[in-house]
Every structure is written in C-alpha cells, then in structure tokens.
Structure 1
Amino acid sequence: MSKEEIKNKLIEELGVHFESEYDLPPLAARIFASLVLTEEDGLTFEDCINRRGASKSSISTSLNLLLQREFVKYFTKSGDRRRYFEIADKNIFFLKKLNRSLKHLEREGKILQKVAEYNAQFRPEKHFENTNKREVYTKCVSDMTTILKTTIEALEKQQK
C-alpha cells in the first residue's frame, strides 16, 4: 500500500472515531481527520473539496460547524486571499480532551455517591447488595481520575 492509501484509510478510521467521540457529522469528521494528518500548513477550502469530493455547500457547512465548535481555526497568508484551515489550539488538543474526560469522571463519581447515599438511607438492602460492585467501580473511577490529573499536570508543565 502506498503512503497516500494508508493515509486515506487512517483518515477514514479517524473520521469514524471523531463522529462518535465528538458527535460530528461524517463529512465534518473526515475534514477534521484530514487536518489532523495533513503535512501542509493548513488546508484551503478548495483543498477540502478536492480531498473529500463533496459539494461546496457541504464543505462550507462542515467547516462552519468545525469553526463554531472551535475544532478548527483559519489564518490567511500575506498576498493570498484564501483562508487556510488548521486544528485550533494544536498545542493543547490533548489537554482539552483529557480535561473533558476528567470532568465526566468527576460527575460520574458525584452521582455515584448520591445514589449510594440514597440507597443507604431509603433502600438499605439494595445498598448492602451492591456494596462490592460499587466499591470496585468507585475505586476504578477514583484511580482513573488520579491518572488523568497526573497526566494533565505533566502536559501542562510541558506547555510552559
């Protein structure tokens, strides 16, 4: 397989991942994947049309969605009227993703605690019945939270 074929296959796989991970429509997810893997200094609107083979209106709609969600940004080059699209905040992409995961786990831990307290007070047999499962799950959430915080701190130190 050629480099281009491998890249196209990876764009497709990454696109499917972005669809589910970020709730993106297929075309927007593929454009975002193309931006992640491009070796160029940004992609133009025309580049996106040529690479995705979609209509101008579909590409425009997808790029606008990615801009609104702050997944991408654009810049211009002196003497060139075209806009060049690139991933927004390339340097903190992983930090943002990890922080979203951390917030999700923290919410999970809080709601788990509230359910446990409710069951302890109003459904003691259910509380007792689920003790082992709850403790294992709570420990997992706690461990994952600790790992995420440690990783975020390490990445933040690299940013400085």
Structure 2
Amino acid sequence: MSKEETKNKLIEEFGVHFESEYDLPPLAARIFANLVITEEEGLTFEDCINKRGASKSSISTSLNLLLQMDFVKYFTKSGDRKRYFKVAEKNTFFIKKLNRSLKKLERESEMLRKITAYNEQYRPEKHEENKTKITVYGSCIANMTKDLKTTIAELKRQQQQD
C-alpha cells in the first residue's frame, strides 16, 4: 500500500473515531483527521476543499464548528491573506478531552452515590444484593478519576514549561 493510500485509510479511521468520540458530523470529523495527519504547517480553506471534495459552504460550516469547539485554530502568514487551519495546541486539546472524561466520571459517581443512598434507605434488600458490585464499580470510578486528575495536572505542568 502506498503512503497516500495508507494516509487516506488512516484519515478515514480517525474520522470515524472523531465522529463517535466527539459527536462530530462526518465532514468535520474528516477535516479534523486531515489536520491531525497532515505534514504541512496548516491547511488553507482551498486545501480542505481539494482534500475532501465537498462544497465551499459545507467546508466553511465544518471549519466554523471545529473553531467553535476549539479543536482547530487558524493563523495567517505575513504577506498572505489566506487563513491556515491547524489542530489547536496539543496539550490544550488533550486537557480538554480529559476534562470532558473527568466530568462524565464525576457525574457517574454522583449518580451511583444517589442510587446507593436510595436503595440503602428504601430498598435494603437491593442494596445488600448489589453492595459488592457497587463497591467494585465505585472503586474503579475513583481510580480512573484520580488518574485523570494526575494526567491533567502533568499536562498543565508541561504546557507551562513550553
């Protein structure tokens, strides 16, 4: 398989992943994947049109969505009126992704706490029946939360050093 074929396959795989992971529309996911994979300093609007083969309005809508979500940013080059799009700062992107995961875990932990308290008070037999499973699951959530917080702190430290 040629480099270009491998690259296109990887862009498609990443696109599918970004669609499901971030609830992105297919075109926005593919543009983002292109920006992750590109060896260029950034892609212009025209580059995105050429690489994706979509209409100007579709590309524009997708790029605006990615900008609003802080997945990408743009820059200009001196003497060039074009905007160049690239993935937002890597550490910032990863920190935001991990923070989203952390918030999900914190909501899950809170719901687990409420369900446990309800069952303990109003359905003691159900509480006893599920006590071991809930303890193991709660421990898993706590460990994942701790790991995410540690990783986020480390990424922030690295970001400050850069």
| TM-score of Structure 1 vs Structure 2, range by shorter chain | over 0.9
Deviations 1:15-66 (A, max 9, x none): 0000011100000000001011111111001100111111111111111111
1:64 is the counterpart of 2:64: yes
Instruction: State the distance in 2 between where 1:118 and 1:62 align.
Output: 44
Instruction: State the distance in 1 between where 2:95 and 2:65 align.
Output: 21
Question: What are structure 1's unaligned runs of at least 5 residues?
Answer: none
1:37 is the counterpart of 2:37: yes
Question: What is the identity, as a one-letter code, of the residue corresponding to 1:12?
Answer: E
TM-score normalised by length of structure 2: 0.94
Runs of at least 4 residues off by over 3 Å? none
Question: What are structure 2's unaligned runs of at least 5 residues?
Answer: none
Q: Is the 8 A contact 2:71 2:93 kept in 1?
A: no
Deviations 1:58-105 (A, max 9, x none): 111111111122211111111111111111233321111111111111
- How much is the aligned-residue C-alpha RMSD, in angstroms? 1.1
Number of corresponding residues: 160
Instruction: State the distance in 2 between where 1:66 and 1:92 align.
Output: 14
Paired residue secondary structure (1:32): helix
Paired residue secondary structure (2:149): helix
Paired residue secondary structure (1:80): coil
Matched residue, 1:16: 16
Instruction: State the distance in 2 between where 1:113 and 1:17 align.
Output: 31
Paired residue secondary structure (1:40): coil
Matched residue, 1:53: 53
